[in-house]
Structure 1
Amino acid sequence: MRLGLALVSVLLPALLAPPGGAGPLPERMADTGGGTQLITAEAPGARSTTGTVTWWDRRGGRWVRVGSAAARFGANGLVEGVRRRQGTSTTPTGLYSLPYAFGIDAAPAGTDLRHRRVTRHSWWCQDNRSRAYNRWVEGLPADCRAKEAEHLVTYGERYAHAVVIGFNYDRPVRGRGAGIFLHVAGAGPTAGCVAVPAGAMRRILAWADPARRPHMAIGTASGPTALTRY
Structure 2
Amino acid sequence: MSVSSVRRGPRLAAALLASGLLLTGCGGAAADGGSAPGGTTADGKGVDGTDSAGSHGGTVGRSAPEPRTSEPKLIPGLGPRTLAAIPPETDQAVVATGAGRDRNTGTVLVYERDPVTGWAPVSDIWPAHNAKRGWTDDHVRGDLRTPIGVFGLTDAGGLLPDPGTRLPYDRGPAFSVSGTGFQGDSLAGSFDYVVAINYNRVPGNTPLDWTRPLGADKGGGIWLHVDHGGPTQGCVSLPRGRMKELLRLLDPMKKPVVVMGDAESLKR
The residue number in structure 2 matching 1:118 is: 172
1:32 shift after superposition: 1.8
Tell me how far apart the structure 2 counterparts of residues 192 and 33 of structure 1 sit (CA, whole Å): 24
Q: Secondary structure at the match of 2:101?
A: coil
Is 1:24–2:81 an aligned residue pair?
no
1:98 shift after superposition: 1.3
Structure 2's unaligned 5+ residue stretches are 1-68, 179-187, 203-212
Tell me how far apart the structure 2 counterparts of residues 23 and 187 of structure 1 sit (CA, whole Å): 28
1:192 shift after superposition: 0.6
Tell me how far apart the structure 2 counterparts of residues 201 and 172 of structure 1 sit (CA, whole Å): 28
Is 1:196–2:253 an aligned residue pair?
no
Is 1:55–2:110 an aligned residue pair?
yes
Q: Secondary structure at the match of 1:95?
A: strand
Q: Secondary structure at the match of 2:244?
A: helix
**Of the candidates 132, 137, 159, which is equivalent to residue 75 of structure 1?**
132
Contact 1:97 1:165 in 2 (8 A): yes
The residue number in structure 2 matching 1:147 is: none
1:33 shift after superposition: 2.6
Is 1:65–2:88 an aligned residue pair?
no
* Counterparts of residues 159-198 of structure 1 (less than 5 Å): 159-170=191-202, 171-198=213-240
Kindly indicate which of the two structures has a greater share of residues assigned to strand: 1
1:36 shift after superposition: 0.3
Is 1:212–2:251 an aligned residue pair?
no
Residues 30/161 of structure 1: CA separation in 2 closer, same or farther (3 Å cut)? same
Contact 1:24 1:63 in 2 (8 A): no
Tell me how far apart the structure 1 counterparts of residues 147 and 194 of structure 2 sit (CA, whole Å): 17
Contact 1:26 1:32 in 2 (8 A): no
**1:165-197 per-position Cα deviation (integer Å, ceiling 9, x unaligned):** 011114232211121100010021001100010
**Of the candidates 74, 97, 101, which is equivalent to residue 156 of structure 2?**
101
The residue number in structure 1 matching 2:47 is: none
Contact 2:166 2:250 in 1 (8 A): yes
Q: Secondary structure at the match of 1:41?
A: strand
Tell me how far apart the structure 2 counterparts of residues 31 and 172 of structure 1 sit (CA, whole Å): 19
**Of the candidates 151, 165, 177, which is equivalent to residue 154 of structure 1?**
177
Tell me how far apart the structure 2 counterparts of residues 96 and 77 of structure 1 sit (CA, whole Å): 18
Structure 1's unaligned 5+ residue stretches are 1-12, 123-151
1:23 shift after superposition: 6.0
Tell me how far apart the structure 1 counterparts of residues 194 and 232 of structure 2 sit (CA, whole Å): 14
Identity among equivalent positions (%) equals: 29
The residue number in structure 2 matching 1:130 is: none
Tell me how far apart the structure 2 counterparts of residues 118 and 51 of structure 1 sit (CA, whole Å): 30
Q: Which amino acid aligns with 2:167?
A: L
Tell me how far apart the structure 2 counterparts of residues 167 and 112 of structure 1 sit (CA, whole Å): 21
- What TM-score, normalized to structure 1? 0.70
Deviates more, 1:53-62 or 1:207-216: 53-62
Tell me how far apart the structure 2 counterparts of residues 33 and 198 of structure 1 sit (CA, whole Å): 29
Residues 117/61 of structure 1: CA separation in 2 closer, same or farther (3 Å cut)? same
- What TM-score, normalized to structure 2? 0.60
Is 1:227–2:266 an aligned residue pair?
yes
Say how many residue pairs are matched.
175
